[in-house]
Amino acid sequence: MRGGEVGVVAVIPARGGSKGVPRKNLRRVGGVPLVVRAIGAAHAAERVDLVVVSTDDPEIAAVAEGAGVRVVHRPAELAGDTASSETAVRHALDVLERDGIRPHTVVFLQATSPFIPSEGIDRGVDAVSGGGYDSAFSAYATYGFLWERGEDGAATGVNHDPAYRPRRQDRAPHHVETGGFYVFDAAGFRAAGHRFFGRTAIIEVPEATAIEIDDAEQLAVATTLAPLVAPRGRIPVDAVVTDFDGVHTDDSAWVDAEGGEAVRVSRSDGMGVALLRRAGVPVLILSTEVHPVVRARADKLGVPVLHGVEDKAAALAGWAADSGIPCERIAYLGNDVNDLGVMAIVGWPIAVADAHPAVRAAARVVLDRAGGHGAVRELADRVLRA
């Protein structure tokens, strides 16, 4: 890609070191590494022509390349705790310029913001590229009363007079910077040396997208919010792998006097599997359960099965390699804690509606339907829509 084709470049600094949350940029929120979430937001923005990840870390570089972006390898002296994000952006622009790529507008995204709205990025680009602004940043409106402590510890109003507190509808809002994205003119950024210069625009975004992860507590909050913030709709994958108990069944069993077991399954789920097979989407059942009912159901559905498996992640990785399907293009549907290992290696970890809380937290998508009650069919429908 040469310079004439790139007007807007998105740069995502993602160094390997982090004190508050170790390996933070690779930690998963909603089943997706933070750096990949930022890449996805940039890719979904219509006004961005090129996405670049700047990193000093080989693992982050490999993940970024797997997500389809260019990687700029940042030298160690620009990746320490004291190095600013601006130095990473300038270095990335220098590398691109050596390749003849000279964008007129830069979008700087922070991977520590997991819910960056792509349409907000587009509004920021429009403001800088043709709206009369030199720089822009994401922020949400607040009507909150702010206070600060003086040297003696006493509180003083910052944005209000404590003696006069007008109603919300009688006040203009202030705006809180989210840290999600910044947009600026490339030449102006080089001249100023920082992200705020000239005429600066506020790009208002929903407050729900404003969380920024700097510590373990914020990571936990983001993980909890992810299923609620995630857009509903299609699941674009090349294969579907499911657990059995609690997914094809409601996780209960009938036991007779001789110890024989029977389970209840959904005919709707069976139709979902059939539709996937007709569309040429590979389906695998992967289970730790050793009971022959698992294989019997798989044979009925006409799909391969690996059951009695202790290490589900290793088994799936082996099946994916043999099938020539990248793990990031696989959806795995699970319900309990023994699914967490395999959910961590696929691109689309999915949870049934009644899954264990830890599984719901690790999922990229939480389905509406419970195990044994059409969850497999719901997943199949969403895969086929893609």
Q: Encode pLDDT of 237-248 as tens digits.
A: 999 999 999 999
The pLDDT confidence band at residue 5, using thresholds 50, 70 and 90, is low
pLDDT at residue 227 tops 80: no
When pLDDT is averaged across residues 74-99 and rounded to a whole number, the result is 89
When pLDDT is averaged across residues 128-151 and rounded to a whole number, the result is 94
pTM (predicted TM-score): 0.78
Q: Which domains does the chain have, with CATH numbers?
A: 3-225 (3.90.550.10), 239-385 (3.40.50.1000)
Encoding tokens for residue 1? 């890609």
When pLDDT is averaged across residues 37-52 and rounded to a whole number, the result is 95
The pLDDT confidence band at residue 261, using thresholds 50, 70 and 90, is confident
- Specify whether the CB–CB gap between 135 and 128 falls below 8 A: yes
Residue 173 DSSP class: P
The pLDDT confidence band at residue 228, using thresholds 50, 70 and 90, is confident
Encoding tokens for residue 351? 């949870």
Residues 6+ apart with CB under 8 A from 61: 53, 55, 71, 73
Q: Which helix (H) or strand (E) holds 18?
A: none
Average pLDDT, the chain: 92
* Percent above pLDDT 90 for the chain: 77
Distance separating alpha carbons of residues 141 and 173, to the nearest angstrom: 6
> Higher confidence at residue 360 or residue 79?
360
pLDDT in tens, 323-365: 999 999 999 999 999 999 999 999 999 999 999 999 998 999 9
Q: What pLDDT score does 231 carry?
A: 66
pLDDT at residue 232 tops 90: no
> Tokens 């088994």 appear where?
315
Q: Enumerate the β-bridge partners of residue 204.
A: 139
* One-character DSSP codes across 261-274: EE--B-HHHHHHHH
